[in-house]
Amino acid sequence: MTATALVHAATSRRTKKSSRSKLSVAGPPIPPTSKSISANGTLKDTPANRALRVAVTPQSSFTAEPFVRDAFFHDDRSVLFCQDVLPGLDHLRDSRIKVDCIVTSPPFYGQRDYGIDDQIGLEDHPQQYIDKLVKVFSKCWDVLSETGSLWVNLGDTFWSGKGAHKSNEVKQSARRFGLRPQDKPGDGKWARPKQLLLIPHRFAIAMQDCGWLVRNDNVWVKPNPVPDQVRDRCSISHEYVFHFTKARWYYFDQREVGRQVGTSMLPPLDTWVVPTARGTGVHKASFSEELVRLPILATTPPDGIVLDPFNGSGTSMVVAHTSGKRAIGIDLSREYCSLAKDALTAAKG
């Protein structure tokens, strides 16, 4: 079964939405294995089982006036902030909001100019970009529950060193915008022409150095990649979706995303074949819904909170909503916040 089919199957299994009135202790999901049940039929008191009994943020904190006062959009299930990610995350921390699942796609290095001050992704050197991302995710650490998961989608970048783009070819100019950081001369070592920068794994190693546990470097395989205009290497058709946790024991509901083989439930594969969501809207780098479904279903307990700190057009918030979870988004761009608000409003009918 492909990852796309697998994710679809998982979604159709979970149609029942969680009760919206009960908010204190969620779960537990079905015990993961028979080994976790004691002779008298109760769940053994083990760290793994305790991680399945998650106390989610109370609804009173989620809808508190000081928390939602400056939101771009809010209702009792979703809150969207239009601001820089760093003060946005500070606001969540100060409001004592703990989220259960963070799923996000930061701006990739040198790939787009979002045309807004303080945007991430156009730093002169790739190390500055990685340092900024690590700083953002260290603030995510403060708002992620101890049993929570962080999922980060990242693609890589080649250094070009070619200077500003001159071609009038339409596709090229849509992808290139003036002098991108990778078009500059570079440092002659890591940043030099033709180099694949290996940003995703350098970022993951920097995250490990800060205390995060890397659980998977899932590969998003794209069956419909944007054609590469090159003659001397393979065409790139994948990105990564890293799964990080804070602790050894964390919430993961394999029933939601596993592969049923006979009577056994096997874990999902770490290769996800999912078409890109191309040409579906104004946002040029939006998630496919399939890509965020597995993270949200597996690692958000009933009525838990999903956070996307680089929310864009709001795909994570929409999938969180349709899966019965609460959602918080942060994005610097008013244009994308409007798109996300519209998408959420449509999803809520």
Ligand X SMILES: C[S@@+](CC[C@H](N)C(=O)[O-])C[C@H]1O[C@@H](n2cnc3c(N)ncnc32)[C@H](O)[C@@H]1O
**Residue 245 corresponds to which amino acid?**
T
Strand order in the sheet with 99-104: 73-74, 78-82, 326-331, 305-308, 99-104, 144-154, 238-245, 213-221, 271-273
Q: Counting contacts by CB under 6 A, is residue 250 touching ligand X?
A: no
Give the nearest distance from C-beta 88 to ligand X in angstroms.
7
- Give the DSSP letter string of 160-171: ----S-----HH
DSSP 182: G
Give the nearest distance from C-beta 21 to ligand X in angstroms.
30
Nearer to ligand X, 70 or 187 (CB): 70
Give the nearest distance from C-beta 224 to ligand X in angstroms.
17
Stretch that binds ligand X, among 139-147, 236-244, 299-307, 332-340 (CB under 6 A): 332-340
User: Total binding residues for ligand X by CB under 6 A?
Assistant: 21
Stretch that binds ligand X, among 1-9, 46-54, 114-122, 140-148 (CB under 6 A): 114-122
Q: Counting contacts by CB under 6 A, is residue 222 touching ligand X?
A: no
Nearer to ligand X, 117 or 209 (CB): 117
**Residue 246 corresponds to which amino acid?**
K
Give the nearest distance from C-beta 310 to ligand X in angstroms.
4
Give the nearest distance from C-beta 161 to ligand X in angstroms.
24
Nearer to ligand X, 56 or 222 (CB): 222
Distance CA 302, CA 306 (A): 11
Nearer to ligand X, 147 or 153 (CB): 153
Distance CA 58, CA 234 (A): 50
Task: List C-alpha distances in Å: 165 to 68, 101, 173, 284.
Answer: 43, 39, 8, 20
Touching ligand X, residues 266-285 (CB under 6 A): 283, 285
Nearer to ligand X, 98 or 283 (CB): 283
Distance CA 152, CA 95 (A): 24
Q: Counting contacts by CB under 6 A, is residue 332 touching ligand X?
A: yes
The answer to whether 62 and 326 are in contact (CB under 8 A) is yes
Which single residue is written with the structure tokens 């570079």? 186
Nearer to ligand X, 245 or 286 (CB): 286
Nearer to ligand X, 56 or 120 (CB): 120
The residue of the chain with the least Cβ separation from ligand X equals 312
Say if residue 279 is exposed, middle or buried (CB neighbours under 10 Å; 0-12, 13-18, 19+): exposed
- Spell out the alpha helix ranges (H) of the chain: 3-13, 47-50, 59-62, 65-68, 85-94, 126-143, 170-175, 199-209, 254-257, 289-299, 315-322, 334-348
Give the nearest distance from C-beta 153 to ligand X in angstroms.
7
Distance CA 239, CA 237 (A): 7
Nearer to ligand X, 118 or 232 (CB): 118
Cα angle 340, 346, 349; round to 5: 145
Touching ligand X, residues 63-92 (CB under 6 A): 84-85
Touching ligand X, residues 288-327 (CB under 6 A): 310, 312-313, 315
Q: Counting contacts by CB under 6 A, is residue 331 touching ligand X?
A: yes
**Site for ligand X (CB under 6 A): which residue of 243, 245, 336, 344?**
336
Q: Counting contacts by CB under 6 A, is residue 209 touching ligand X?
A: no
**Site for ligand X (CB under 6 A): which residue of 91, 204, 333, 341?**
333
Nearer to ligand X, 104 or 160 (CB): 104
Work out the angle between the directed axes of helices 126-143 and 85-94 (0-180°, nearest 10): 20
Q: Which residues are at the interface with ligand X (CB under 6 A)? A: 84-85, 105, 107, 114, 118-120, 283, 285-287, 310, 312-313, 315, 330-333, 336
